[in-house]
Amino acid sequence: MEYTGRVQGSVIILDAAPDLPQGTRVKVVPIAGKAASPLGEMLLSFAGCVHGLPDDMAENHDHYLYGTPRR
């Protein structure tokens, strides 16, 4: 079994809830080169904060910002 996650302070936060009994001992091995940057962590804190945008905003942001044709 393998789980992925990230370190936040002194706590490890897993991407998905594991199906492990309470008190199970685990071993944590860092993945080389996969540490999140402080800027990336800060930007992730804003994920999902903006509401009311068009459903295709990510794909057609140039259309909404500059008026280019939609993709």
- The pLDDT tens digits for 19-60 are 889 999 988 888 777 666 788 878 888 888 888 999 999 899
Assign 44 to helix, strand or coil: helix
Domain residues for the domain of 8 are: 1-71
Rounded CA separation 36/49 (Å): 20
Q: How much is the pTM?
A: 0.39
pLDDT of 63 reads 93
Helix (H) or strand (E) segment spanning residue 65 = helix 61-66
pLDDT of 6 reads 85
